[in-house]
A and B are shown apart, each in its own frame.
Chain A
Amino acid sequence: MTLDDKQASVKTRPAYGFAPMILRDLRRNSMVVALVIVVALFSFLTDGTVVRDANISNLIAQNGYVLILAVGMVMVIIAGHIDLSVGSVAGFVGAAAGVMIAYWSIPWPIVIVLALAVGGLIGAWQGFWIAYVGVPSFIVTLAGMITFRGLTLVVLGRNNIGSFPEGYRALGNGFLTDLAGEYETDPVTVGVFVLAAAVIALAAVRSRKRRLRLNGADEPFAWFLTKLVIQLGALLFVGFALARYKGIPVILIIVVLIVIIYTVLTRRTAFGRHVYAIGGNRRAAELSGVKTKRADLLIFVNMGVLAALAGLVFTARLNLSNPSSGTGFELEAIAAAFVGGAAIQGGAGTVGGAVIGGVVIGLLNNGMSILGLGTEWQQTVKGLVLLAAVGFDFWNKRRLARSRA
């Protein structure tokens, strides 16, 4: 028996001890830990204002654009790229949408489609330079960041465009409310969240059963249950808060749909695997038959479409197309992806992680605003949080590497 055999036989019965399992989960899901800390900290500092009904609803409406961008950005980062242009692209598309609605009087549903197409074209333009010309994404998107900010100014001049149709504005601050009549606590909202909780619980139990069947073992039941209860508790807490306030925000529906679609895309499709493989080892992926250039192009087209959507959502919520809107979005999206556990070298990261990272960034924005901290301090704190997140990732990896030196 060689050492390999022994290594294998030692490890085939994984140590599913209680304490090690908790530690492992916490380490792998550091963004959840960060989220809990941020919630607890701001709940304390703001005497609970952060978790009041109205604020929870606001938090979602205010940060929808970050979450949408974070989903696209994490895929860009997994593939080993970066996109600095998303803020400018979101600004440009928001401006273009404003012009189309206000000056050209195009019906808003068509504007949405056109705007998303413009985003896709912009993504294809940048993706072309990255994938087929071979210019590093950092440079291409830095150029894009400047170019599209310029084009935003070209489109808007120095004007703001405002007062959009109600249907369009609902994209940013609409609610599904009082569908079943007027109640203190909206029953439809509660119903949707209870249903969601049930679906999640059922899915968790089923996937635990499958793991038990495939691997012969899984985490202890008590820990599994604890995690599930905490998740469902948080979900229902948010659900009731929304039900008591104005109901389900439209933006929440958009974000949830995006999270579901992109989680499936990254985890369950060949394209998703290709993205991870490209970020892990591009040449090896190529020699495995992965069409790396096409995948790169698609990743940036996708980012362009999501940036456009973020621009629409943001414009709709402010009811305003503004020459400077979108400034700094790229950094929030990148920070969200890294806080959410994406690896700076590419090859690792998850949609779910990026969304939680986005919520952490959103909470920082929101909590610090409630505390009355100016943008100067908000910027400072967010910068340090980003550094801490990436620093933790590196520290964690080095520790792991050393333990198997």
Chain B
Amino acid sequence: MTAAEAGVPALALHDVTMRFPGVIALKGISLEVNRAEVHAICGENGAGKSTLISILGGILPHGWYEGGLTLHGEPYEPNGVRAAEAQGIVVIHQELALCGNLSIADNIFLGHELTGGMLLKEEEAHERTSALLARVGLAVEPGRPAADLGIGQQQLVEIAKALAKDVRILILDEPTAALNDDDSDHLLGIIAQLRGEGTTCILVSHKLAEVRRIADRVTVIRDGAAVETLTIEEATEERIIRGMVGRDLEHRYPPREVSMGAEVLHVKDWTVPTLEDPERISGVNLSIRAGEIVGLCGLVGSGRTELAMSIFGRSFGGKPSGHLRIGGLEVSTPTVPDAIRAGLAYVTEDRKQLGLDLGSELRNNLTIVGLKKILRRGFIDDELEAGVVKKLMSRFGIRAANPSVAIGTLSGGNQQKALLGRWVLTDPKVLILDEPTRGVDVGAKYEIYSAINDLASRGVGVLLISSEIEELLGMADRIMAMSEGRISGELPARTASPESLMQLMTKEMR
């Protein structure tokens, strides 16, 4: 829209190639971003989005890559993050980078402190912070520690921090990945407002609905090159997905024959206290049969993860009350090893903190849950282990150069497949999946869905926790909703709708 007025693009890449040892991350990518537009970049994990962002933000400095960049028609050759920021280009990373112990104001001026002589000018910093927070619609005290804020609010502080640096081009990497719907809405509103004020935004996102809603143009990248740049009118979800994966995805959810057996998980009157809240989880009843997939939805803070982790060996909260049967076995206060032995497996939503040992080998990350399977006469047997690992990699489509690479170097999708697949080694009867496709690209999502269906068809009962209602509708047999630590309702998947579930998720339960 404002493209014609400006004439030259705000930011352009010309035939940029970036090589890493053994892999070419970007292959002659060219791209033009207009002034004051929201330009979305879509691509699978591993398509080169992170590399692209790193180049734009100066994290990969000029000279490391071939090809050139221009900023408003002038050569743009940042030699580091500060140089990029000095020219008004700021990246907000997916993992937020606020120091929780510092105040909001301190965070905003971190590295660019307002000083008079040797001393900090705290009052001025607070005043300017208040003004910046007002611009992003956040009404909090600038002196509060950043750790007090929710993720959505922290994201807004990041934007305010960028504004403090006189940002002209704001690059957001999956800004809503960890946000609930309300916070996402607000954030997208702020982005639109910034565009109105003349700021250019580059938005990297997996959420196509959100891209469709806010972007002016969309560039799809695949295998390190731009496939096409579409205006928002042209950019239907189907077309974006086709560009990302290079083929049509007819079915986003693989078909499955449902056949159910005996009850494998039985939770009755389950109440879990925490220090702050004696009824953080309260009176939950839940039953899952062999081969059944039960969906569980709820807003952030509704207690989904807390419920799952309290069932999995009391990994959350204090001593629970109620009954818990896993595979017909009464285990009311199990430890994690007890729960695993009884046949429960839990795939965490927090892959990096609670799931994987990122610096360690793929192989070790896979076998750690089932070391018994690779023992021969009490000692770990390399060949047994190699066999087990090879089987898991092929069954779950875990793509890696070899089993000895550090798992942290794999794409999010492959990490997630490993996190899920390894539980096969413990022969689970019940599998709790907490956001199994978060931050995973479309192709890998399909593979994960297929793996879930396969496990269910072999008689595993699945509890699928997800924030994506569509995913629950596509995968589950019935869907339960949680609100304020309680089950607020249950619907069969075929009659449920996003609206009816949203109603249950927002129901007041206290």
25 A–B contact pairs at CB < 8 A?
A1-B223, A4-B411, A4-B414, A5-B399, A6-B23, A11-B22, A12-B401, A210-B383, A214-B382, A215-B402, A268-B380, A273-B367, A273-B371, A276-B360, A277-B357, A283-B354, A284-B353, A285-B357, A289-B340, A290-B368, A291-B335, A348-B359, A403-B20, A403-B21, A405-B54
Q: How far is the CB of B91 from chain A (nearest CB, A)?
A: 14
Near B by CB (< 8 A), chain A positions 295-322 give: none
**Docked CA distance A153–B362 (Å):** 50
Select which of A273, A291, A404 is within 8 A of B380 by beta carbon.
A273
Near A by CB (< 8 A), chain B positions 72-117 give: none
Please tell me the number of chain A residues within 8 Å of chain B, measured between CB atoms: 40
> In the complex, are the beta carbons of B368 and A288 less than 8 A apart?
yes
A267 within 8 A of B: yes
Near A by CB (< 8 A), chain B positions 414-457 give: 414, 426, 443
Which residues of chain B are near A384, meaning CB under 8 Å? none
* A3 nearest CB neighbor, chain B only: B46
B300 within 8 A of A: no
> In the complex, are the beta carbons of B312 and A7 less than 8 A apart?
no
> In the complex, are the beta carbons of A284 and B357 less than 8 A apart?
yes
Select which of A3, A268, A403 is within 8 A of B379 by beta carbon.
A268
> In the complex, are the beta carbons of A10 and B364 less than 8 A apart?
no
> In the complex, are the beta carbons of B46 and A277 less than 8 A apart?
no
Q: How far is the CB of A25 from chain B (nearest CB, A)?
A: 15
> In the complex, are the beta carbons of B401 and A6 less than 8 A apart?
no
**Docked CA distance A1–B443 (Å):** 11
Near A by CB (< 8 A), chain B positions 312-336 give: 312, 315, 335-336
A396 within 8 A of B: no
A19 within 8 A of B: no
**Docked CA distance A267–B385 (Å):** 13
**Docked CA distance A227–B399 (Å):** 33
B474 within 8 A of A: no
Which residues of chain B are near A347, meaning CB under 8 Å? 357, 359-360
A133 within 8 A of B: no
Query: A3-B223, A4-B410, A273-B367 provided; 10 other pairs, C-beta below 8 A?
Result: A1-B223, A3-B44, A3-B47, A4-B399, A14-B401, A264-B379, A276-B357, A287-B336, A291-B335, A405-B60
B413 within 8 A of A: yes
**Docked CA distance A287–B22 (Å):** 34
> In the complex, are the beta carbons of B356 and A277 less than 8 A apart?
no
**Docked CA distance A4–B441 (Å):** 12
* B372 nearest CB neighbor, chain A only: A270
Select which of A5, A14, A277 is within 8 A of B368 by beta carbon.
A277
The verdict on A4 contacting B340 (CB below 8 Å), with A276-B360, A404-B409, A405-B60 known, is: no
* B419 nearest CB neighbor, chain A only: A284
**Docked CA distance A169–B28 (Å):** 73
Near B by CB (< 8 A), chain A positions 355-405 give: 403-405
> In the complex, are the beta carbons of A289 and B364 less than 8 A apart?
no
Which residues of chain B are near A284, meaning CB under 8 Å? 353-357
The verdict on A3 contacting B336 (CB below 8 Å), with A288-B368, A405-B54 known, is: no
> In the complex, are the beta carbons of B401 and A11 less than 8 A apart?
yes
Q: How far is the CB of A284 from chain B (nearest CB, A)?
A: 6
**Docked CA distance A2–B47 (Å):** 8
> In the complex, are the beta carbons of A280 and B357 less than 8 A apart?
yes
B198 within 8 A of A: no
A166 within 8 A of B: no
Q: How far is the CB of A16 from chain B (nearest CB, A)?
A: 12
> In the complex, are the beta carbons of B375 and A281 less than 8 A apart?
no
**Docked CA distance A92–B245 (Å):** 67
**Docked CA distance A405–B383 (Å):** 32
> In the complex, are the beta carbons of B315 and A287 less than 8 A apart?
yes
B400 within 8 A of A: yes
Q: Spell out A's residues near B (CB within 8 Å).
A: 1-8, 10-12, 14, 210, 214-215, 264, 267-270, 272-273, 276-277, 280-281, 283-291, 347-348, 403-405
**Docked CA distance A197–B421 (Å):** 43
* B353 nearest CB neighbor, chain A only: A283
Which residues of chain B are near A14, meaning CB under 8 Å? 401-402
**Docked CA distance A14–B402 (Å):** 9
> In the complex, are the beta carbons of A280 and B359 less than 8 A apart?
yes
> In the complex, are the beta carbons of A2 and B357 less than 8 A apart?
no
> In the complex, are the beta carbons of A288 and B369 less than 8 A apart?
yes
* B309 nearest CB neighbor, chain A only: A287
> In the complex, are the beta carbons of A7 and B22 less than 8 A apart?
yes
* B413 nearest CB neighbor, chain A only: A4
**Docked CA distance A286–B339 (Å):** 12
Q: Interface digits, B37-60 against A, CB 8 Å rule (1 contact, 0 not)?
A: 000000011111001001000011
Which residues of chain B are near A12, meaning CB under 8 Å? 401-402
* A264 nearest CB neighbor, chain B only: B379
> In the complex, are the beta carbons of A8 and B46 less than 8 A apart?
no
**Docked CA distance A289–B312 (Å):** 10
Which residues of chain A are near B46, meaning CB under 8 Å? 2-4, 7
* B45 nearest CB neighbor, chain A only: A4
Q: How far is the CB of A20 from chain B (nearest CB, A)?
A: 10
> In the complex, are the beta carbons of B356 and A11 less than 8 A apart?
no
* A281 nearest CB neighbor, chain B only: B357
> In the complex, are the beta carbons of B357 and A270 less than 8 A apart?
no
The verdict on A269 contacting B357 (CB below 8 Å), with A287-B315, A288-B369, A289-B340 known, is: no
The verdict on A405 contacting B414 (CB below 8 Å), with A3-B46, A281-B357 known, is: no
> In the complex, are the beta carbons of B346 and A291 less than 8 A apart?
no
> In the complex, are the beta carbons of A269 and B379 less than 8 A apart?
yes
B337 within 8 A of A: yes
B63 within 8 A of A: no
> In the complex, are the beta carbons of B364 and A3 less than 8 A apart?
no
Which residues of chain B are near A8, meaning CB under 8 Å? 399-401
Near A by CB (< 8 A), chain B positions 256-280 give: none
Q: How far is the CB of A132 from chain B (nearest CB, A)?
A: 14
> In the complex, are the beta carbons of A10 and B356 less than 8 A apart?
no
Which residues of chain B are near A7, meaning CB under 8 Å? 22-23, 46, 399, 401
* A213 nearest CB neighbor, chain B only: B383
B386 within 8 A of A: yes
Which residues of chain B are near A3, meaning CB under 8 Å? 23, 25, 44, 46-48, 223-224, 411
Which residues of chain B are near A214, meaning CB under 8 Å? 382-383, 386
* A280 nearest CB neighbor, chain B only: B357
B348 within 8 A of A: yes
> In the complex, are the beta carbons of A286 and B315 less than 8 A apart?
yes
Which residues of chain B are near A6, meaning CB under 8 Å? 23, 223
Q: How far is the CB of B17 from chain A (nearest CB, A)?
A: 14
Which of B312, B360, B378, B400: most chain A CB closer than 10 A?
Answer: B360
**Docked CA distance A289–B357 (Å):** 14
The verdict on A10 contacting B22 (CB below 8 Å), with A4-B413, A270-B371 known, is: yes
> In the complex, are the beta carbons of B54 and A287 less than 8 A apart?
no
> In the complex, are the beta carbons of A2 and B23 less than 8 A apart?
no
B286 within 8 A of A: no
Q: How far is the CB of B42 from chain A (nearest CB, A)?
A: 14
Select which of A11, A269, A405 is within 8 A of B378 by beta carbon.
A269
Which residues of chain A are near B401, meaning CB under 8 Å? 7-8, 10-12, 14
Select which of B355, B380, B382, B402 is within 8 A of A210 by beta carbon.
B382
Near A by CB (< 8 A), chain B positions 478-508 give: none
> In the complex, are the beta carbons of B380 and A269 less than 8 A apart?
yes
Which residues of chain B are near A10, meaning CB under 8 Å? 22-23, 401
**Docked CA distance A10–B22 (Å):** 7
